[in-house]
Structure 1
Amino acid sequence: MQSLSEIINLLNSTDECATLEAKRGTAIGHSVLESICAFANEPGLGGGTIILGVTRDESSLFPVYQIEGIKDPDKLQADLASQTASLFNQPIRPQIELETTPNNKLVLKIKVPELPDGQKPLYFKNEGLPKGAYRRIGSTDQHCTEDDLFVFYNKEDSLDSTIVNDTSLEDISEEAITLYRNLRSKVNEYAEELTYSDIDLLRSLGCIKKHKDDYKLTYTGLLVFGNRMALRRLMPMVRVDYIRVPGNTWVENPDSRFTTVDMRGPMIQLVQRIFSAIADDLPKGFLLPEGELQATNIGLPSKVLREAIVNALIHRTYRENQPIQIIRYGNRLEIKNPGFSLKPEEQLGEPGSKNRNPFIASIFHETNLAETKGSGIRIMRSLMEKSSLAPPTFESNHTANQFTTRLLLHHFLSEADIAWLKTFEVYQLNDAQKRALIFVRETGAIDNQAYRQLNGCDILKASTELRAMRDVALLQQKGKGRATYYIIDSGFNAPLTSLSTPVSVLSASVNTQPNTLNTEPQSLLHEFPDHLQSEIAQITVREKDINKIKNLIYKICKHRSCSVREIAALIKRKENTVLRNYIIPMKEDNKLQYTIPDMPNHPDQAYQSI
């Protein structure tokens, strides 16, 4: 186990991370036990360390961790041993060490080993599965979902092989089967399945199963080969929305309309339709170097775009009734699909893959519509680099159950970029920091994860270099702890005025004004209709009916979007209580959604009813 000084240095360098959690340690509460559960469950993590008696000083300019100490180490150790042995579905025996600082403060270090695969998942007995189990995602402890259980067991019948009721062979698209045969024959014209009848072919692909005397479609059969009428009838929200947004930022303004194209159909046909719709919109260009006869394409490589589309289709979760969103901004493409990555983010691009939908993935691999062996992301990065484009970045959000792929569309470090970066020579930035500046200019924000993906570095190096840019007022730090990200600092604009580089993103990203959200209960009440004002007034601090309060919050956020602070003021409760007991559960139940989905931890984040 690491020494206390090493742990404090690590906390102040990287903040809490995947293998380290710091807590005040006044008692062994549910929060401590959640971290123990998450460390024990997370595949490939090797466990983690919890340190009790450490707090984060928010009063300093740059908050740091400091040792506060614990007061009753014997009781804490006894409670920890008792609760870890009795509250979970199996006893857990963490390693516990008590360390004394030079000024005689006591700190408790808890080392939690990762459980063997056969003993996972660990979960709270009184909560059951899946909600009673936790995973360690980044520096957070997250409730498990049905998809997480598939990660743990990996032997359960997957959703894509499950029979869909109210289906029959009439729901199959003959054109989709013909397309599959054509694509498969191009890969291997002697493939045995090409000699099968349509019914035998569908059975061999796991697309239909015999149920009593009839055949019924599985989710694979419906999604890959189902006709549009069947898809609309049985899975109305499983579609792809291609959204064109003017400018470089998402603006929720009814007077500034964006254009949306909704697409649905058999997945094997949908790939080309989506690709064509996006490719027609993308900027195209050719470069003819002096003395050369062959021009080269300098746009977004078509293989990168196709791979990003296919990844969204075959790796999304079909347990969520949500469409895939492909958002075309002026300077980038963002592809958002329901379902977090089953593969840890730091392993994205490495050989090997974990398939949420193995039968669907197999069909796409056999027809060469998708890369095999988990090499798709690595190939995307390589092709973007060869085309002098910024590498793609990926964000897996376990809380929102969403995966985002971002592709910048302009040439990375072009002559204009180099000229722009020269205005910052006084700061002596390294190449990685220069890439980060370009990325923030184009997307509006950057966090540790995006920095690591851009530059191929570890979490410590990314944190150190981002903080160095913050310290010289190039970047402004937002959020705190595990929710830290960076935007353009107000002092960043000075050298831009003499350049022709568009600064719309910078102007939208700078936020030097204090938060002006209305949190006065009386003035807030007047923004709601009389009947809702009456319901809000009747809620007291003694109200114990959780469902009643949730229903009220739903009505409040249906009338207008509200922040946690505003909701807390209206229902007369603390912000942390509102977030933990109402907002997070309502988001998990698809009752509420973010108003700023691209940045969950944005200081102006609010919620609206779904």
Structure 2
Amino acid sequence: MNYSAQELFEILNDQDECPWIEAKGGSDSSHSVMETVCAFANEPGLDGGYILMGVALDTTVLFPQYKIKGVNDPDKFQRDFATQCAGMFNLPIRPEVTVEKIHEKNVIKIWINELPARQKPAYFRADGLPIGALRRIGSTDQHCTDDDMHVFYQDTTSYDQTPVTGITMADVDENAIKRYRVLREKVNPSAEELTYDDAELLQALGCINREKPNELNVAGLLLFGKSITQRSTFPMLRVDYIRVPGNQWVSDPDDRFTTIDMRGPLLLVLYRLIDAINADLPKGFLLPDNDLQAESSGLPLKALREAIVNALMHRSYREHRPTQVIRYNNRIDIINPGFSLKSEEKLGQPGSETRNPFIAAVFHDTNLAETKGSGIRAMRRLMQAAHLVPPTFESSREHNEFTARLLLHHFLDEKDLDWLQQFEPLNLTDPQKQALIFVREVGAIDNQTYRQMADCDTLKASTDLRMLKSHNLFASKGKGKATYYISGPGLNTEATDGLSTEPTVVLSTQPPKISAPPHDLKDESDITDIEINTELSTPPLNLSTPPHDLSTPPPSILIDESLQKEIDILNRREHDSDKIKGIIKEICKDRYLSARQISGILNKGEDYIKRKYLSEMIKSKDLVYLHAEMINHPEQAYKTNEN
């Protein structure tokens, strides 16, 4: 359907930007506009998309909406834009450009056709592949990775089928083979592959190099290879279990984290990892009304299993860096190399997109993984049934990683009920109450996180969050898609500890009854063949640690005199990236600085510094985030990684 500029403008105000509409407020054909052109031309099955120039989101009003800014010189824009489309990419892209008027102002409507499959991918000549190509993911333009190249070049061979030269059957761990047979027999005692010898079994599972049957491929090495062989072949393909005191990454320099490095056959590492995490988890008890028998409560083991299995099954093994499982006082963060192949809007919906199909098949055969892409939905259901805040997920193409977050805070314990009483007159919904708990524990929340917790759409999430803001419980930061919320003046983030306190609002109505019964964890014992030690040798961790104060101003920026001299002699177009990275590490030593502050010190553009240096230094672990829980935090700050 051919839309007019007026119709596109109305769609923007009705549903915001979407996969096939992008609004640009500037009058110049900036690099951002050209990135959208590249993404529309590349995205398979999209058929193309519209760019509406001269339209911008007005965030100064209570309910942000798109308004017409207009294009001052439409003729000049069309000339420059057509020239860039013809010359910036590896092949010319021919846009359809028209000028229309809305509210007596010139607006430029651009239509970009999807390229034929044989011509994809289009990419910026100066950047090359894969980083120079972009895809349209949701309403964003994302730089491509090696995983995307298989989509464009129709390569049906997955990475887990890559041969590993010199690794033979002698490098197979017999215990891993036995574990597979035990698990498979419990699922299907009559499975034909159980009659095969070890070599035939690995061949049937797709773990053997087809060209040289005596050699293993990547799937065979990861699933069944000995630990010593994995270490000598892929030393960074391991799982790091990290215990961090407090709620922030190394918040206390005198109280360092501890790390357990795990490598070996995935079927065995899975058990070791779950056992290590479970031994650290606090164990609580619930005593229902009129009942003399207390029931244990805590993180459902099936939810933990799903999170760990998803990490091992879907991570990108092209990336030579470990999977990190970070245990904070109030949550577990599972950080995985490789972004989600499913868009974040579709997480939890039926259907699975598998990066490692042969590794996934083994987990499916042994009933360790969901078979229909329902693992995330199962995790949400289990967490909610246990009265815990639902898990949240973040997928970053920029950093090529995926984060699953499990909050360990029990949503309906006595302290929370006492704390939530002060908000009873507001008739908040359960998801809104969960959002209050989330902000109290993590420090901030955005639309995406709320959507995952409440299982709702963008509009519903925006409405609920704005309502909490209107009651001064939340304060908003950032603009447009980068908007997030922190605690407002009406939100007391301290737990009551069962003590009576004066409520912040006058009670006028009864609170909505939350009637869901506590989850019986005795049913969680069906985790196949996993022996868990449930006894605690230490008391449960204190989960009431207050969150980081997001409003604390940064320290004054004092620069050492010798370092200032180095900065002063920097050329405006300095090309020695190692030199600039070294300076950034020095100025961010022992303090958090924002990208704006860093760029101001270096006298360079903020976007340039973020794209060229900060993102790379985060990826290489030279810097750490202040707000690791929300990477796109508009007030994100950076500090030199002392480790």
1:358 CA drift (Å): 1.1
2:198 is the alignment partner of 1:167:
no
- 2:257 equivalent to 1:258: yes
Kindly indicate whether the alpha-carbon contact (under 8 Å) linking 2:334 and 2:404 is maintained by their aligned counterparts in 1. yes
SS in 2 for 1:167: strand
* Equivalent of residue 545 in structure 1, options 552, 575, 578: 575
Which of the two has greater helix per residue?
A: 1
Residue 568 in structure 1 maps to residue 568 in structure 2:
no
1:185 aligned partner: 185
Is 1:583 the counterpart of 2:614 in the alignment? Answer: yes
| Match of residue 54 from structure 1 | 55
Moved more, 217-226 or 2-11: 2-11
- SS of residue paired to 1:164: strand
Secondary structure of 2:354's counterpart equals: coil
Match of 1:272 in 2: 271
> In the TM superposition, what is the alpha-carbon distance from 1:457 to its structure 2 partner?
1.4
User: Using the alignment, how far apart are the partners of 1:566 and 1:383 within structure 2?
Assistant: 43
Cα shift readout 1:121-165 (whole Å, capped 9, x = no counterpart): 332345432112112345442211102223445534222111224
Tell me if the contact between 1:441 and 1:505 (Cα under 8 Å) persists in the aligned partners: no
- The 5 Å alignment of 1:297-316 reads 297-316=296-315
Instruction: Write the distance in 2 (CA, Å) between the matches of 1:17 and 1:445.
Output: 25
TM normalised by structure 1 equals: 0.86
Q: Who is 1:524 aligned against?
A: 559
Equivalences for residues 475-554 of structure 1 within 5 A: 475-493=474-492, 500=499, 507-518=546-557, 523-526=558-561, 530=562, 535-541=566-572, 543-547=573-577, 549-550=579-580, 552-553=582-583
- Partners in 2 of 1:253 and 1:287 — Cα distance? 33
Aligned partners of 1:99 and 1:107 also within 8 Å: yes
Equivalent residue, structure 1, for 2:245: 246
Contact 1:385 1:391 in 2 (8 A): yes
Contact 2:326 2:332 survives alignment (8 Å): yes
> In structure 2, how many angstroms separate the alpha carbons of the residues matched to 1:37 and 1:135?
7
8 Å contact kept, 2:164–2:217? yes
Per-residue CA deviations over 1:70-128 (Å, capped at 9, x if unaligned) read 112123234434443554445545454433233x2212233445557666433234543
AA in 1 matched with 2:551: T
- For residues 277-313 of structure 1, give each alpha carbon's deviation from its aligned partner in whole angstroms, at most 9, with x where no partner exists: 1122223355565677997653322211111110000
| Maintained 8 Å contact 2:172/2:226 | yes
Aligned 8 A contact 1:55 1:68 in 2: yes
* Structure 2 counterpart SS, 1:207: coil
- Structure 1 236/129 Cα, relative in aligned 2: closer, same or farther at 3 Å? same
* Code of the aligned partner of 1:511: L
Following superposition, the deviation at residue 578 of structure 1 comes to 2.0
Asked whether the 8 Å contact 1:241–1:263 carries over to 2, the reply is yes
- Aligned equivalents of 1:271 and 1:62: distance in 2? 47
* More moved, 26-35 vs 571-580: 571-580
Report the Cα distance in structure 1 between the residues aligned to 2:64 and 2:554, rounded to whole angstroms. Answer: 20
SS in 1 for 2:444: coil
**Identity across matched positions, percent:** 52
Instruction: Quote the residue 2:518 is aligned against.
Output: none
Q: Which of 34-43 and 490-499 deviates more?
A: 490-499
Q: How does 1:356-371 map to 2 (within 5 A)?
A: 356-371=355-370
Indicate if the aligned counterparts of 1:334 and 1:404 stay in contact, CA closer than 8 A: yes
Quickly say closer, same or farther: Cα 1:322–1:495, change in 2 above 3 A.
Answer: closer
- Tell me the residue number matched to 1:76: 77
Amino acid at match of 1:485: Y
Cα deviation, 1:469-522, whole Å, max 9, x if unaligned, reads 22332112223333222121244228966965999878534433444451xxxx
2:454 corresponds in structure 1 to 455
**Contact 2:17 2:23 (C-alpha < 8 Å) held by counterparts:** yes
User: 1:20-39 residue pairs with structure 2 within 5 A?
Assistant: 20-39=21-40
- Please tell me the residue identity of whatever aligns with 1:160: D
The answer to whether the aligner puts 1:203 opposite 2:203 as a matched pair is yes
* Structure 2 CA distance for aligned equivalents of residues 163 and 553 of structure 1: 42
| Residue 108 of structure 2 corresponds to residue 108 of structure 1 | yes
Could you tell me whether the CA contact under 8 Å between 1:317 and 1:338 is conserved in 2?
A: yes
How far the C-alpha of 1:324 sits from its partner, in A, is 1.7
Give, in angstroms, the shift of residue 367 of structure 1: 1.4
In 1, Cα distance between equivalents of 2:97 and 2:429: 42
Q: How does 1:464-479 map to 2 (within 5 A)?
A: 464-479=463-478
Contact 2:625–2:636 under 8 Å retained in 1: no
Task: Tell me what 2:218 maps to.
Answer: 219
Q: 2:230·2:264 contact (CA, 8 Å) conserved in 1?
A: yes
* Cα 1:577–1:259 shift into 2, 3 Å: closer
- Equivalence for 1:605: 637
| Secondary structure of 1:261's aligned partner | strand
Relative distance call for 1:57 and 1:79 in structure 2 (3 A) is: same
Contact 1:249 1:505 in 2 (8 A): no
Query: Are the counterparts in 1 of residues 441 and 546 from structure 2 also a CA contact under 8 Å?
Result: no
- Residue 451 of structure 1 deviates from its aligned partner by 0.8
Contact 2:324 2:334 in 1 (8 A): yes
* Alignment partner, residue 347 of structure 1: 346
> Is 353-362 or 546-555 further displaced after alignment?
546-555
CA distance in 2, matches of 1:57, 1:325: 39
Contact 1:220 1:359 in 2 (8 A): yes
Matched residue pairs, number?
Answer: 599
SS in 2 for 1:280: helix
Where in structure 1 are there 5+ consecutive unaligned residues?
none
In the alignment, the residues of structure 2 paired with residue 499 and residue 296 of structure 1 have an alpha-carbon distance, to the nearest angstrom, of 21
The amino acid across from 1:242 in the alignment is Y
Taking the aligned partners of 1:590 and 1:414, their CA distance within structure 2 comes to: 37
| Conserved 8 A contact 1:550-1:586 | no
Q: Give the letter for the 1:218 counterpart.
A: N
d(CA) in 1 for partners of 2:284, 2:402 = 30
* In structure 1, distance between residues paired with 2:389 and 2:211: 50
Report the counterpart of residue 337 of structure 1 in structure 2.
336
Code of the residue aligned with 1:608 in structure 2: it is T
Task: Assess if the C-alpha contact under 8 Å between 2:338 and 2:400 holds in 1.
Answer: yes
Contact 1:554–1:591 (Cα < 8 Å) also in 2: no
Does the CA contact (< 8 Å) of 1:205 and 1:363 recur in 2?
A: yes
Task: Name the SS for the 1:122 alignment partner.
Answer: coil
CA contact (8 A) 1:13 1:463 kept: no
RMSD: 3.5
Q: Distance in 2 between matches of 1:458 and 1:3?
A: 27
Report the CA distance shift for 1:382/1:595 in structure 2 as closer, same or farther (over 3 A): closer
What secondary structure sits across from 1:598 in the alignment? coil
Q: Which moved more, 1:268-277 or 1:396-405?
A: 396-405
In structure 2, runs of 5+ residues without a counterpart are: 501-540
Moved more, 441-450 or 58-67: 58-67
The superposition leaves residues 378-408 of structure 1 with CA deviations (integer Å, 9 ceiling, x where unpaired) of 2222222333332222111222222111222
C-alpha displacement at 1:259, in angstroms?
A: 3.1
* Cα distance change on mapping 1:551 and 1:384 into 2, 3 Å: closer
User: In the alignment, residue 607 of structure 2 is paired with which amino acid?
Assistant: N
Structure 1 residues 390-429: aligned runs within 5 Å: 390-414=389-413, 416-429=415-428
- Normalising to structure 2: TM-score of the pair? 0.82
Query: Quick one: distance in 2 between partners of 1:19 and 1:234?
Result: 44
Aligned twin of 2:375 = 376
- The alpha-carbon distance between structure 1 residues 220 and 554, as it changes in their structure 2 partners (threshold 3 A), is farther
Relative distance call for 1:414 and 1:496 in structure 2 (3 A) is closer
Q: Larger deviation: 458-467 or 12-21?
A: 12-21
Question: Partners in 2 of 1:154 and 1:308 — Cα distance?
Answer: 30
